[in-house]
Amino acid sequence: MSNSAIRLLERAARLWPERVYVEEEGGSATYAALLARARTIGAALLGDRRPVVVYLPKSIDALAVFFGAMCAGRPYAPVDAHIPVARLEKIAASLEPAYIVTNEALLPNLAGADLGAAEPVLLSALEGAEPNEAGVDAAIGAVIDTDPIYVMYTSGSTGTPKGVTIPHRGILDYADWVADTFAFDTDTVMANQAPFYFDNSTFDIYGTLRCGGKLLLTPETLFLFPLKLPEYLEEHGVTSIFWVPTVMINVANAGALEGRALPRLKNVAFCGEVMPNTQLNIWRRALPHCQYANLYGPTEITDVCCYYKVDRPFADHESLPIGKACGNMRVRILTDDGREAAVGETGELCVLGSGVALGYWNNPEQTARAFVPDPRSPWPERMYRTGDLARWGEDGLIYFLGRKDSQIKLKGNRIELGEIEAAAMCVPGVENACALFDEPHERIVLFTEGGGGLSLRKMNLELKKYIPQYMLPGKLVCMDKLPHTANDKIDRVTLRGTLKEEEPC
Ligand code: AMP
């Protein structure tokens, strides 16, 4: 049994040394070449077991650092290359990494940043280091499969991102599951959409690695032009995609599939938010030969814990199930009083199994709240409470029903409204803030107490210092005083009522 996910790359480099593992615009890397690069980088990163932040654009370079960190026995933490420095500072404070690996273009952003003891290092400098084969072998050998492989930061309701910590075992089992479930082989060509700091990318990275397939780092700008995507899939002989529904919806709505046969495309999988049947049906009518699959899972699980292979027609108004648990996982739907929900009854979706995260990095309180002992298990077992509501159908499948809390999904991005409120409170003049999701208009509305002189554009310029672009509000309402309830909380119901007064566009 493997102890570290680097064994997947070692195995692939042994079986298919000269096959191209990953391709990007203007470059590619074979399995053997990527392993050699990773071992060199790993030699330069040897030392203790503190994590490595990977502050690089999505690229073969970033992948080389992920595997390089594994060669040094360290977890990696991918971050967005466009991350606001203030957010990176918060991540550094939470993670206490040893290094922040970056490139010449991004390095100047770190000047003056408070990164604690973390040392910014250039990838080019790591690659110039002396090899240390014995040191790397020893570091890999010392890893056990419950050690962390990566820490991915997701939006936190208190304003500080949460570092979800995934064990090697989660990825090893997930890679097996992906390759088996979708019958991946060396002919698999996967067009990656998910950013590397989003856990959907693990399907692409480790699924292809497991089977000797090819991973295409599809240019990110292409996703702004849905009409061009099918052409790209055709030209590159893509056999599998795993995209967020927002992208699939854009492709369907743009009519991009009309007249496209895409005979090589076999698997169309999606995850991250509700996939509407209206657009799924456009895909199914245009490409009837493909297998469609609805995958479900939060970052706190190694990407996915439930799946449903679409095996019958769905009317536009029907709900698409999220299906049943993946092989290495178990799911429960528990009512508020802790009972197993009966068929049709709403409850919280709870997850057990080897994919469950180790917790939130350096955050025992939040970990203890979300990762709880399973009261039904005769042996100690941890269960992740997703905060998602779900029900069992008569058909034995699980149906997703929404959230228990104020976490939202906007264009596939997970957002805690509290993080936007915390950022707004840092803007000079703002004394209080409340963010709400205006679903019909698909935008976030920010209500502030004070800050009256600010336009939406100016507010967003301020907010961008703290939160990523995708969290920025689409509407700003500045008030002298926010309404309060009798027990002095912000009256969200009244504020929400003001949203209803506007008709959707
Ligand atoms: P993330 O941590 O960014 O992967 O977001 C996880 C959340 O996205 C889940 O807790 C759900 O609320 C939502 N989600 C993920 N997959 C699906 C799906 N297939 N259908 C509906 N919602 C989903």
Distances (CA, A) of 143 to 39, 324, 337: 15, 32, 40
pTM here is 0.95
Atom of ligand 1 nearest to the CA of 413: 3
Atom of ligand 1 nearest to the CA of 300: 2
Single-letter residue type at 349? L
Which of the listed residues 409, 415, 437, 439 should we mutate to test ligand 1's pocket, taking the one with most ligand atoms within 8 A of CB? Answer: 409
Closest residue (by CA) to atom 22 of ligand 1?
273
Closest residue (by CA) to atom 19 of ligand 1?
296
Domain co-membership, 436 together with 365: no
Q: Which domain holds residue 133?
A: 29-143
Ligand 1 neighbours (beta carbon < 6 A): 154, 199, 271-274, 294-296, 298-299, 322, 386, 388, 400, 403, 409, 414
Single-letter residue type at 450? G
Q: Assess if residue 443 is contained within a domain.
A: yes
Query: How many angstroms does the Cα of residue 30 sit away from the middle of ligand 1?
Result: 33
Domain co-membership, 344 together with 372: yes
Query: How many angstroms does the Cα of residue 33 sit away from the middle of ligand 1?
Result: 35
Closest residue (by CA) to atom 23 of ligand 1?
273
Question: For residue range 220-251, what is the model confidence (pLDDT) as tens digits?
Answer: 999 999 999 999 999 999 999 999 999 999 99
Domain co-membership, 337 together with 390: yes
Calpha distance 420→231 (Å, rounded):
37
Domain co-membership, 37 together with 122: yes
Domain co-membership, 393 together with 466: no
Query: How many angstroms does the Cα of residue 345 sit away from the middle of ligand 1?
Result: 20
pLDDT at 505: 45
pLDDT at 272: 96
pLDDT at 504: 52
* Residue from 363, 300, 358, 357 nearest 94 by CA: 363
Query: How many angstroms does the Cα of residue 273 sit away from the middle of ligand 1?
Result: 5
Query: How many angstroms does the Cα of residue 115 sit away from the middle of ligand 1?
Result: 31
Rg (CA), the chain: 23
Calpha distance 328→321 (Å, rounded):
19
Calpha distance 482→425 (Å, rounded):
13
Domain co-membership, 340 together with 425: no
CATH number of 346's domain: 2.30.38.10
Domain co-membership, 128 together with 69: yes
Distances (CA, A) of 47 to 69, 90, 135: 11, 24, 10
Please, what sign has the CA dihedral across residues 95, 98, 103, 107? positive
Q: Assess if residue 392 is contained within a domain.
A: yes
pLDDT at 376: 85
Query: How many angstroms does the Cα of residue 362 sit away from the middle of ligand 1?
Result: 24
* CB distance 46 to 234 below 8 Å: no
Distances (CA, A) of 366 to 89, 322, 372, 387, 459: 20, 27, 11, 13, 30
DSSP string, 260-326: ---TT--EEEEESS---HHHHHHHHHH-TTSEEEEEE--TTBSS-SEEEE--S---TTSPPP-BEE-
Query: How many angstroms does the Cα of residue 317 sit away from the middle of ligand 1?
Result: 20
Query: How many angstroms does the Cα of residue 226 sit away from the middle of ligand 1?
Result: 22
CATH number of 439's domain: 3.30.300.30
Q: Assess if residue 171 is contained within a domain.
A: no
Atom of ligand 1 nearest to the CA of 403: 12
Domain co-membership, 44 together with 134: yes
Domain co-membership, 43 together with 126: yes
Closest residue (by CA) to atom 4 of ligand 1?
298
Sorted by sequence, the CB contacts under 8 Å of residue 91 that are 6+ apart come out as 53, 77, 79, 83, 153, 161, 163
Domain count, the chain: 3
Q: Assess if residue 218 is contained within a domain.
A: no
* CB distance 216 to 242 below 8 Å: no
Domain co-membership, 39 together with 139: yes
Q: Assess if residue 48 is contained within a domain.
A: yes
pLDDT tens sequence for the chain (505 residues)? 899 999 999 999 999 999 999 999 999 999 999 999 999 999 999 999 999 999 999 999 999 999 999 999 999 999 999 999 999 999 999 999 999 999 999 999 999 999 999 999 999 999 998 999 999 999 999 999 999 999 999 999 888 999 999 999 999 999 999 999 999 999 999 999 999 999 999 999 999 999 999 999 999 999 999 999 999 999 999 999 999 999 999 999 999 999 999 999 999 999 999 999 999 999 999 999 999 999 999 999 999 999 999 999 999 999 999 999 999 999 999 999 999 999 999 999 999 999 999 999 999 999 999 999 998 888 889 999 999 999 999 999 999 999 999 899 999 999 999 999 999 999 999 999 999 999 999 999 999 999 888 999 999 999 999 999 999 999 999 999 999 988 888 999 999 999 876 655 4
* Residue from 97, 150, 162 nearest 355 by CA: 150
CATH number of 129's domain: 3.40.50.980
Choosing from 143, 171, 187, the residue where a domain stops is 143
Choosing from 85, 112, 143, the residue where a domain stops is 143
Single-letter residue type at 181? T
Question: For residue range 298-331, what is the model confidence (pLDDT) as tens digits?
Answer: 999 999 999 999 999 999 999 999 999 999 999 9
Query: How many angstroms does the Cα of residue 155 sit away from the middle of ligand 1?
Result: 13
Query: How many angstroms does the Cα of residue 100 sit away from the middle of ligand 1?
Result: 29
- How many other C-beta atoms are found inside a 10 Å radius of the C-beta of residue 289? 10
Q: Assess if residue 22 is contained within a domain.
A: no
Domain co-membership, 383 together with 419: no
pLDDT at 74: 98
Which of the listed residues 152, 414, 416, 471 should we mutate to test ligand 1's pocket, taking the one with most ligand atoms within 8 A of CB? Answer: 414
The single-letter DSSP state of residue 483 is -
* CB distance 466 to 423 below 8 Å: yes
Choosing from 403, 436, 460, the residue where a domain stops is 403
Closest residue (by CA) to atom 1 of ligand 1?
298
Which of the listed residues 400, 405, 411, 439 should we mutate to test ligand 1's pocket, taking the one with most ligand atoms within 8 A of CB? Answer: 400
Structure token digits, residue 429:
């003049």
Structure token digits, residue 434:
């409340």
Q: Assess if residue 17 is contained within a domain.
A: no
Token pair 């854009």 in the structure block, residue:
250
Query: How many angstroms does the Cα of residue 114 sit away from the middle of ligand 1?
Result: 33
Query: How many angstroms does the Cα of residue 497 sit away from the middle of ligand 1?
Result: 26
* CB distance 208 to 21 below 8 Å: yes
Q: Assess if residue 166 is contained within a domain.
A: no
Domain co-membership, 387 together with 459: no
Closest residue (by CA) to atom 15 of ligand 1?
272
pLDDT at 388: 97
The single-letter DSSP state of residue 449 is E
Token pair 């082989």 in the structure block, residue:
185
Atom of ligand 1 nearest to the CA of 303: 4
